[in-house]
């Protein structure tokens, strides 16, 4: 079992013992297929006999009502938004993820703080400030970065639920229509993820391929992680 590691100071007041579970993160753009892959990974892990717990951004009971209200009103500034998401993230980390890991669960996280940083930096936040905010975060056992080109993202989003105001970056209006704004915004996010890939050691998975191909690589890498113990 490896030592528990945080990016910076972690939670100095908390006595976190060993964490026998594994934290597996799937990162990547809107429409890249994270949730589909997480569901498949979950089923596969459960078949192998592992306990699995899911988590994702903005799912904490603490911040959900406030975040929904903030997004509905569109009056929220970028610092406020970033800190609100950080609150949500910390709440889930301390109250769900760490307890689950400590009970031996495999935690599948649909995004981690990397997406939050990418979104905020694209909107003008100081990249260094944003990283330090998440200095309390636990280092995942593996971070998969599902990387797809913008045209692939467009096809997936339009065949699915359609363009969304926030996913198109319309709050910053990269263009006067959803399609162009979506393309520019998602392109900038890819730029941020690419930068972080090296910095945080992402495992890059080519997500321009079919769902099955992506999954078989994810499964392979996850198996390696399990074998490493």
User: Least distance from C-beta 101 to another protein, angstroms?
Assistant: 16
Contacts of 40 (CB under 8 A, 6+ apart): 211, 215, 218
User: Least distance from C-beta 59 to another protein, angstroms?
Assistant: 14
Query: What are the structure tokens assigned to 82, written together?
Result: 């970033």
Nearest CB to another protein, comparing residues 83 and 103: 83
User: Least distance from C-beta 87 to another protein, angstroms?
Assistant: 4
At CA 92, angle to CA 30 and CA 229, rounded to 5?
Answer: 85
Nearest CB to another protein, comparing residues 95 and 177: 95
Residues engaged in binding another protein (CB under 8 A)? 8-9, 11-14, 61-63, 65-66, 69-70, 73, 75-80, 82-84, 86-87, 90-91, 94-95, 129, 132-133, 135-136
Query: What are the structure tokens assigned to 189, written together?
Result: 């996010």
Nearest CB to another protein, comparing residues 114 and 145: 114
Contacts of 82 (CB under 8 A, 6+ apart): 116, 120, 125, 130, 133
Query: What are the structure tokens assigned to 112, written together?
Result: 């981690």
User: Least distance from C-beta 175 to another protein, angstroms?
Assistant: 25
């Amino acid at each position: 079992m490896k030592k528990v590691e945080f990016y910076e100071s972690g939670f100095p007041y908390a006595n976190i013992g060993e964490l026998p579970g594994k934290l597996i993160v799937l990162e990547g753009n809107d429409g890249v297929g994270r949730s589909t892959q997480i569901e498949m990974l979950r089923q596969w892990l459960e078949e192998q006999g592992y306990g699995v717990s899911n988590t994702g951004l903005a799912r904490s009971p603490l911040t959900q009502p406030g975040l929904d209200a903030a997004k509905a009103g569109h009056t929220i500034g970028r610092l406020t938004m970033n800190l609100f998401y950080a609150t949500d993230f910390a709440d889930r980390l301390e109250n769900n993820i760490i307890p689950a890991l400590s009970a031996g669960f495999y935690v599948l996280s649909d995004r981690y703080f990397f997406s939050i940083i990418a979104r905020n930096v694209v909107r003008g936040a100081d990249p260094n400030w944003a990283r330090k905010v998440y200095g309390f975060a636990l280092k995942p056992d593996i971070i998969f970065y599902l990387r797809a080109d913008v045209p692939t993202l467009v096809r997936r989003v339009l065949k699915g639920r359609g363009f969304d105001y926030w996913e198109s970056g319309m709050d910053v209006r990269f263009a006067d229509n959803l399609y162009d704004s979506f393309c520019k915004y998602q392109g900038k996010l890819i730029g941020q993820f690419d930068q972080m890939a090296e910095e945080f050691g992402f495992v890059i998975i080519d997500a321009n391929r079919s769902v099955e191909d992506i999954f078989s690589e994810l499964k392979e890498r996850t198996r390696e992680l399990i074998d490493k113990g």
